[in-house]
């Protein structure tokens, strides 16, 4: 729709048409990314190959918003927890880029007291609130299936801080099967 509307106004209002084309490009980029993830299955290959730490670093590199990622994990959570956390982070970063008018975001992942704790912070305008049909409510519902929680602090004027907590143990960092170590 944006492309068709941009075509109609390109001669009379080139500035608005240019803006609409940029929005269409970004929407297409996001749709392609989501489609690739869907085609590859619910557990993206980068998550399987690199774990949560590597997958979130890769996600940050492909995002147009500068993102600083820090992790403190001494193993890997179970696949479903890892996947739920990864997709929650991806959705929160997409929301940040779309709605927060932020210039930077930070992701910190830590494990302690048998809980995976992830904090996503941005320097945007704040005011994020879950509504019944919002992505934030969807994230909270998905985390709830693991007895996890999501806490949002987002005063008007910012910053927004979202904390995800999921009870879980971490597996050993060893990646080779025990028979390969003999």
Whether residues 86 and 130 fall in one domain: yes
Whether residues 20 and 84 fall in one domain: no
Whether residues 27 and 62 fall in one domain: no
Number of domains in the chain: 2
Answer for the pair 30, 23: CB distance below 8 angstroms, yes or no.
no
Q: Is residue 128 part of a domain?
A: yes
Instruction: Output the pTM of the full model.
Output: 0.73
Whether residues 35 and 117 fall in one domain: no
DSSP letters spanning 78-116: -HHHHHHHHHHHHHHHHHIIIII--S-EEEEEEEETTEE
Domain that holds residue 135: 47-172
Whether residues 93 and 4 fall in one domain: no
pLDDT of the chain along its 182 residues, tens only? 778 888 899 899 999 999 999 988 888 888 876 765 554 456 678 898 999 999 999 999 999 899 999 999 999 999 889 999 999 999 999 999 999 999 999 999 999 999 999 999 999 999 999 888 888 998 999 999 999 999 999 999 999 999 999 999 998 765 434 444 44
């Amino acid at each position: 729709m944006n492309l068709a509307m941009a075509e109609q106004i390109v001669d009379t209002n080139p500035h608005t048409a240019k803006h609409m084309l940029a929005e269409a490009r970004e929407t297409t980029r996001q749709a392609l990314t989501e489609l690739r993830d869907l085609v590859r299955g619910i557990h993206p290959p980068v998550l399987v190959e690199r774990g949560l730490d590597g997958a979130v670093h890769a996600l940050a590199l492909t995002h147009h918003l500068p993102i600083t990622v820090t992790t403190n994990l001494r193993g890997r959570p179970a696949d479903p927890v890892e996947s739920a956390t990864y997709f929650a982070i991806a959705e929160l970063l997409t929301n940040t880029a779309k709605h927060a008018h932020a210039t930077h975001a930070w992701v910190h992942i830590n494990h302690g007291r048998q809980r995976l704790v992830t904090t996503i912070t941005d320097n945007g305008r704040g005011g994020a609130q879950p509504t019944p049909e919002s992505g934030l409510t969807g994230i909270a519902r998905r985390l709830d299936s693991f007895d996890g929680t999501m806490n949002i602090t987002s005063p008007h004027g910012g910053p927004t801080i979202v904390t995800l907590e999921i009870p879980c143990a971490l597996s050993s960092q060893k990646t080779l099967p025990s028979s390969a170590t003999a």
